[in-house]
Structure 1
Amino acid sequence: MDSADVWRHIDSERAWMADLLESLSTDDWQRPSLCSGWTVRDVGAHLTFAHTPVRELLWPALRAGFRYDVVVRDTAIRSPLTHEEIVATLRSFLGSRRRVSFITDLEPLIDILVHNQDVARPLGIEHPIPPDAAAAAADRVLATPAPIRLWKPPPGVRLMATDTDWAFGSGREVHAPMGTHLLTLTGRLPVPRGRPGTA
């Protein structure tokens, strides 16, 4: 997937998230998300850090002992933004190609695809993940070195997409939509169980 397609998906998913968050009740903002320990509000706040300059992350990194997962969690939970400011910030990103230094275009894609599901699924909202975007995101997840990559690929299985040409691993074949495999690789869903050859 080329850069233009990556950003097209990012813009579409950011716009969808902004619209969804704007439509939620105050109670819905406080619901637990799929991201362990985070509310829907925390997920929205995290997504607003996509344009943050590195210098603004130095103090949070120092406070967290330079542990990547702690930095990510603390910046989201400590964010002072109101619900309205979170929505406005996400909308302000549309059309921009800016990203945090030292990452590729694919990191913002992973972030928005996965976090949209973190919010949508607990709210009972179906939001399909585009298969081509999910495949590009999954490949990047698998190529990301530790400690930045927070999840390990499931052992003993071969993940095979039913809606695009993608597969990874070796062992028992597990057939599912590409979006399901992306959520498995990012720790949101267990390895799908079902008879081989089914979604």
Structure 2
Amino acid sequence: MRASALWSLIHAERQRLHDQTQSLTAEQWRSPALVGSWTLEQTIAHLTAGAEQSIPAWLRSVFSARFDFELHKERGVVTRMGASPAETLARYERAIRNKRRAAGPLMAGLGEVLIHGEEIRRPVGIRDGVPVQTAAATLQWFARHDFTEYSRSRAQGLRLVANDAATEIGQGAEVRGRALSLLVALSGRPVIPGELHGPGAAVLIKRGGAEWKPQREPARRL
């Protein structure tokens, strides 16, 4: 997919998330996100950081944090939090049309918006509304790459079937579900009970969570 087309999708999904969340109350914004210790407000501030940071700014932040990426992310969130959730969302809105990407492929950037978007939407019961083809294209990329997530490793030995997109990936025990649901699971986030089906569903769900890491074969001696 061309860069111009990917940027259009990124901008569309950033805008969709803004439109879906602008009616949330301050109490909702300060409630826990789907995973981790962040609130919904902190999660959208993290997306603002991703939309605002250039590569030089990202490198400066990483160096100043001594390559502690958790500290780097926390600092990015703190500096983009407003005095209220409304101010935080307003800053996010101003960054929606930015074409900045700190590091990595654009498809990973699209996945970041979709996955973090679900971390915000799911706890407050917002239906995703993400176009099926956007979710399916992102799923295919994440199933083939371990970039910021062990998504390719989680997909190994499984046949992913997106039953809303006529998309099938891999070989092995079958896991069926919506493309976005499969993407959420590949990223290590929890899914709703009954959201995934098939003999491989339990395997994929078990591979979720930030603590999961793939088993690596020991290096061969030459």
Q: TM-score, normalised by structure 2?
A: 0.73
Q: Label 1:101 to 1:30 Cα distance change in 2 as closer, same or farther (>3 A).
A: closer
State the 1:169 CA deviation.
3.0
Q: AA paired with 2:94? A: S
Aligned length: 193
Match of 1:15 in 2: 15
Given that 1:163 and 1:178 are in contact with CA atoms closer than 8 Å, whether structure 2 keeps it comes out as: yes
Distance 1:27 1:109 in 2: 28
Match of 1:32 in 2: 32
Match of 2:56 in 1: 55
1:188-199 equivalent positions in 2, closer than 5 A = 188-189=189-190, 193-195=196-198
Given that 1:6 and 1:106 are in contact with CA atoms closer than 8 Å, whether structure 2 keeps it comes out as: yes
Segment of structure 1 superposing worse, 180-189 or 102-111: 102-111
Distance 2:4 2:60 in 1: 33
Distance 2:136 2:198 in 1: 22
Distance 1:144 1:74 in 2: 27
Match of 2:135 in 1: 134
Q: Does 1:75 align with 2:73?
A: no
Distance 1:60 1:144 in 2: 25
Given that 2:48 and 2:80 are in contact with CA atoms closer than 8 Å, whether structure 1 keeps it comes out as: no
Given that 1:32 and 1:39 are in contact with CA atoms closer than 8 Å, whether structure 2 keeps it comes out as: yes
Q: AA paired with 1:81? A: M
Match of 1:109 in 2: 110
Where 1:23 maps in the other structure, the secondary structure is coil
Given that 1:130 and 1:179 are in contact with CA atoms closer than 8 Å, whether structure 2 keeps it comes out as: no
Q: TM-score, normalised by structure 1?
A: 0.80
Match of 2:6 in 1: 6
- Structure 2: unaligned runs, 5 residues or longer: 200-222
Which deviations, in whole Å up to 9, do the C-alpha atoms of 1:149-189 show, x marking residues without a partner?
A: 35541444211111223223322111111111110111113
Given that 1:156 and 1:169 are in contact with CA atoms closer than 8 Å, whether structure 2 keeps it comes out as: yes
Match of 2:44 in 1: 44
CA RMSD of aligned residues (A): 2.7
- The counterpart of 2:92, out of the listed 90, 93, 96, is 90
Which deviations, in whole Å up to 9, do the C-alpha atoms of 1:34-92 show, x marking residues without a partner?
A: 1311110111101111121233334532354414455334422x235313343233322
Identity of aligned residues (%): 25
Relative contact order, CA 8 A, sep 6+: which one is greater? 1
Structure showing greater radius of gyration is 2
